Every structure is written in C-alpha cells, then in structure tokens.
Structure 1
Amino acid sequence: MDYEGKASEVADFLLSYMSDDTGWKVCKKSNDVIVSWRPSSKFPGNVYKGEGIVSDCPERVWECLKPIPNGLRVKWDNNVKNFELLEQITEDISVCRTVTPSAAMGIIAPRDFVDVILVKRYEDGIITSNATNVSHPGCPPQSGYVRGFNHPCGCICVPVSGEPNKTHVFSFFQTDLGGFLPHSVVDSFFPSSMTEFYRNLTKAVKSLV
C-alpha cells in the first residue's frame, strides 16, 4: 500500500477544508470552540470542523496533540483510550492503531481505528497531523472492538499573527464509526465530543510545566 501517497493527499484535503468556507453549518458553540458540519464527499456521513483559540504558542499546543505512543493526548483526550505504533514508514509518517472507549452511555461500543498519520510542518509555522484509514497486516479486526474508519481528518495548529502566545486550532473529523448506529446518535456525538476535546485541550496546555 502507498502509505506515503495516502498521507500526502490527506494533508492537501485538510488545508482545503480549512480554507473553504462553502457549505459549513454551525451546530455547536462554546467559549472554547465553534463546531460546524457539512456532508462528506468521502463517505455517506458528515465532516465536522472545530475551530478555537488556545492560549499558548503552537509548539506547546502541539505537544498536547502530538500523535505518538505514550504521548500527552492519551492522558487528556477522553476519546483516546490507547494509541499504538504499528509501523514507522518515514520520520514523519506512521501507521497507528487508536482505541476508543464506549460512549453515549454505552450506545457506542469500544472501537479501534487503523490509520496512516503524517505530521507536516509548513514554513509559516503551521503544524498539522493528517490521518486516514488504511489496512495493515499487523492489525486485523479484533474481538471486543468494532472497527471504525477515519476518512481524511486531523488537527492544524496555526500561529495567530501578532500574538505569539495564541494558537488557532482547527480539527476535522469525518469518521465512519461502523456497526449499525442510528444517525441521530452519530450526529449528536461528534459536536458534543469536539466541544469536550477543545475544553480538555485548553486545560492540558495550561497544565504544561
């Protein structure tokens, strides 16, 4: 499988999602984030966009978002129970398995996702994580978990001009949770989950020493 090619395509998709304002509808607002959605072109569901300002520089915010085993994200993100490295493709590209806990009062069973992930930095200071589903011989579907499928998704840390201690954080989720979940459950889960994501990210960044 062309892991590098797939990962590079995701980076292009995420930048296009960030710059294209067409068709987004706001579905949830809080002090930390605005969550919007529009129909996905990748699967019969929605792509969700979160955007908010986090009070610290991009490098420190990135420390909390970095997709690595035993990283900080497993500690603060309630939707990430475990994160495993399956294969390191290049210095910046890896194939990983993410395990999520049950959610929505048990309606959503534990799931796992296998993704190729690209960490990409741009000359203007933007730092991104870019992920999409792949198959990997070292991680077939496992009992006890519903195999879900992430379509182009990730996080983008953008420096705020003139304010070095602030970061504009964009997040994109377009996930086929698998199983036979009612659309109403999925449509309510992601906006609430993303609001919690930003609230917990802000707390995690503040707690950095």
Structure 2
Amino acid sequence: MDYTGAAEAAADTLLSYRKDEAGWKLCRKTGEVAVYWRPSTEFTGNLYKGEGLVEAKPEHVWECLKPEPGGLRVTWDNNVQDFQLLEAVRDDISICRTVTPSAAMGIISPRDFVDVVMIKRYEDGSITSNATNVEHPSCPPQRYFVRGFNHPCGCFCAPVSGEPEKTQVLSFFQTDLSGYLPKSVVESFFPYSMTQFYNNLSKAAAALSV
C-alpha cells in the first residue's frame, strides 16, 4: 500500500477543509469552543469541525497533541486509551493503532483504529497532524475491539497573531465507528466528545505552562 501517498492526500484534504467555509452548521458551542458539522463526502456520516482558543503557547499545545507512543495524549484525552506505533514510514509519516474505551454509558463499545499519520508544518507557523485509515499486516482486526475507520481527520495548531500565549486549535473528525449503533447516538456523541476534547486539552496544556 502507498502509505506516503495516502498520508499526503489526507493532508491535502484537511487543508481544503480548513479553507472551505461553505456548508458548516453549528451544532454545539461552549465558551471558546464551537463545533460544526456538514455531511461527509468520504462516507455516509458527518464531518465535524471544532474551533477553539487554548490559553497556552503553540509548542505546549502541540506537545499535548503530538501523536506518539508514550506521549501525553493518553494522559488527558478520554477517548484515547492506548496509542501504538506499528511502522515508521519516514520521519514525518507513521502507521499507528489507536485504542478507544467504551463511551456513551457503554453503548459504544471499545474500538481500535489503524491510521497513517503525517506531521506537517505550514508557513503561517501551524503544526498539523493528518490521518486516515489504512490496513497494516501487523494489525488485523482484533478480538474484543470493533474496528473503526477514520476518514481524513486531524488537528491544526496555529499561533495567534500578537498573542504568543494563545493557540488556535482547529480539529476535524469524520469517523465511521462501525458496528450497530443508532444514528442518534453517534450524532450526539461527537459534538459532546469534541467539546470535552478542547476542555481537557486546555487543562493539559496549561499544566505544561506552569
């Protein structure tokens, strides 16, 4: 499989989502965080966009978000139970497995996801993680986990002009959870989960700033 091509395509797709303001509908807003949705063009579900300001330097926010085994993400993100490196394709591209715990009061059982992940930096100072689902020979579907599929997704950490202690975090999620889940459960889970993501990220990044 062309992992590099898949990673680069995911990064291009995420950048197009960042630039495209059309069709977004607000579905949840709490404080500095807003979550929007529109129908996904990748699968039959929705594409979700989160926008929020985090009161921390971009390097501290990125340290919390960085997709790496043994990183901080598993310590603060309630939706990440384990993160494993399956293969390093090159310095900025890797194949990873993410394990998520049960959610929505147990209605959503534990899932795992296998993705190619690309780290990319842009001229405006943004640092991004870009991911999409792939298959890897070392990680077929596993017992006790429903195999889910992330379509192009990721986060942008962007500096805020004139405010070095703040970071704009833009996140995109479009995940096929698979299994037999009511549409209403999925559509209520993601907006709530994304606002929690920002709240917990802000706390983790603030702790690094102390």
- The two structures have a TM-score, normalised by structure 2, of 0.98
Query: For residue 105 of structure 1, what is the amino acid of its counterpart?
Result: M
SS of the aligned residue for 2:191 comes to helix
Contact 2:111–2:147 (8 Å) recurs in 1: yes
Partner of 2:206: 206
**Deviation of residue 12 (structure 1)?**
1.0
Q: Tell me what 2:109 maps to.
A: 109
Inter-partner Cα distance in structure 2 for 1:200 and 1:151 = 23
Q: Describe the superposition over 1:69-123 as per-residue Cα deviations: whole angstroms up to 9, x where unpaired.
A: 0100000000000000000000000000000000000000000000000001112
Contact 1:32–1:199 at 8 Å: present in 2 too?
no
The worse-fitting range, judged by mean Cα deviation, of 16-25 and 138-147 is 16-25
C-alpha contact 1:32 1:198 (8 A) present in aligned 2: no
Match of 2:74 in 1: 74
Q: Is the 8 A contact 2:56 2:202 kept in 1?
A: no
In structure 2, how many angstroms separate the alpha carbons of the residues matched to 1:89 and 1:200? 30
Q: How does 1:1-209 map to 2 (within 5 A)?
A: 1-208=1-208, 209=210
Amino acid of the residue matched to residue 139 of structure 1?
C
Runs of 4+ in 1 over 2 A off after TM superposition: none
The one-letter code sitting in structure 2 at the alignment partner of 1:80 is V
CA distance in 2, matches of 1:122, 1:56: 19
Normalised by the size of structure 1, how large is the TM-score? 0.99
Single out whichever of 64-73 and 161-170 deviates more from structure 2.
161-170
Does the 8 Å CA contact 1:32/1:195 hold for their aligned counterparts?
A: no
Using the TM superposition, give the Cα deviation of residue 15 of structure 1 relative to its aligned residue in structure 2, in angstroms. 1.2
Which letter does structure 2 place at the counterpart of 1:165? E
| Structure 1 runs not aligned, ≥5 long | none
Whole-angstrom distance in 2 between the partners of 1:183 and 1:15 = 28
> Using the alignment, how far apart are the partners of 1:13 and 1:164 within structure 2?
28
The C-alpha deviation readout for 1:121-166, integer Å capped at 9, x for no partner, is 1122110000000000000000000000000000001111111111
- Return the alpha-carbon distance in structure 2 between the equivalents of residues 200 and 25 of structure 1: 24
Cα separation, 1, equivalents of 2:41 and 2:48: 12
Cα distance in 2 for partners of 1:16, 1:164 equals 26
Aligned-residue CA RMSD in angstroms? 0.7
Aligned length: 209
Whichever residue aligns with residue 168 of structure 1, its letter is: Q
CA distance in 1 between counterparts of 2:197 and 2:3 reads: 28
Cα distance in 1, alignment partners of residues 65 and 86 from structure 2: 19
| Distance in 2 separating the partners of 1:19 and 1:123 | 15
**Structure 2: gaps (5+ residues):** none
Amino acid across the alignment from 2:57 = C
CA distance in 2, matches of 1:38, 1:137: 33
